[in-house]
Chains A and B, each alone.
Chain A
Amino acid sequence: GQQVMQIPQYQHVQEGEDFTTYCNSSTTLSNIQWYKQRPGGHPVFLIQLVKSGEVKKQKRLTFQFGEAKKNSSLHITATQTTDVGTYFCAGRPSGTYKYIFGTGTRLKVLA
């Protein structure tokens, strides 16, 4: 079946260090979305990427969609304690309405 893997599973960083999580799909995607989930909460939408090779920025966050539309990355510059949480990518396989979530990367930021 269709799978979306994310690495790393966990990441501990010192406040101010950078952080990157990578997402890889077994199938080509129509688009990919990124979500953040705080402990005990539900996922909250961050951004959607649609075009091959697309790059989007939100303040300290940079999102990239691969040329083959099968992988994506999220990079956070100079992490802050408020960045703590689990980051998920969610891919929509071409020709479907479903969103397959990645395995998630749990980020801890040490002050």
Chain B
Amino acid sequence: SQTIHQWPATLVQPVGSPLSLECTVEGTSNPNLYWYRQAAGRGLQLLFYSVGIGQISSEVPQNLSASRPQDRQFILSSKKLLLSDSGFYLCAWRTEQDTGELFFGEGSRLTVL
């Protein structure tokens, strides 16, 4: 069966520090991968999505970047965090088969101080 792992689960970072969030998917190949951010009590904002290795589509201009070095690995990074980067980051995957539903990881809660 397919599983998605996302880490770290929680982190507190100072303003200006770098960030790396990692997401891996098991049990499927060539998934579409997504990074969303959810501010407290708000909706999900699509940050990046990828339909293949090395293919990244950015939805919002900001100080975040994403990479997909392997088929089932999706990384979210920042060189210098801002206070506004605080939030709940969710990685998700889907395939074109069946219902094509998005399967979400457990999320990474980032607090920038």
Residue pairs across A and B with CB atoms within 8 Å: the count is: 54
CB < 8 Å: which of A43, A45, A97 contacts B44? A43
- Chain A residues within 8 Å of B107, by CB: 42
Q: B27 on the interface (CB 8 Å rule)?
A: no
Looking at A13-21, A61-69, A98-106, the stretch in contact with chain B turns out to be A98-106
Contact A101 B44 (CB under 8 A): yes
* Distance between B93 CB and nearest chain A CB, rounded to angstroms: 12
Contact B99 A98 (CB under 8 A): no
- Chain A residues within 8 Å of B90, by CB: 42-43
- Chain A residues within 8 Å of B105, by CB: 42
Known: A88-B43, A100-B46. A43 touches B59 (CB 8 A): no
* Distance between B76 CB and nearest chain A CB, rounded to angstroms: 16
Q: B36 on the interface (CB 8 Å rule)?
A: yes
Q: 8 Å CB contacts to B: which residues of A27-83?
A: 31, 33, 35, 42-45, 47-48
Contact B104 A43 (CB under 8 A): yes
Contact A101 B46 (CB under 8 A): yes
Interface centre among A35, A45, A102 (most CB of B within 10 A): A45
Find the B residue at minimum CB distance from A46. B101
* Distance between B16 CB and nearest chain A CB, rounded to angstroms: 29
- Chain A residues within 8 Å of B49, by CB: 97-98
Find the A residue at minimum CB distance from B90. A42
Contact A48 B101 (CB under 8 A): yes
Q: A107 on the interface (CB 8 Å rule)?
A: no
- Residue pairs across A and B with Cβ atoms less than 8 A apart, 8 shown, are A33-B100, A43-B44, A44-B104, A45-B99, A48-B99, A101-B43, A101-B45, A103-B43
Known: A99-B34, A99-B46. 7 other contacts (CB 8 A): A6-B43, A45-B101, A98-B46, A98-B59, A101-B46, A102-B43, A106-B41
The 4 closest A-B pairs by CB, nearest first: A45-B101, A42-B104, A101-B44, A103-B43
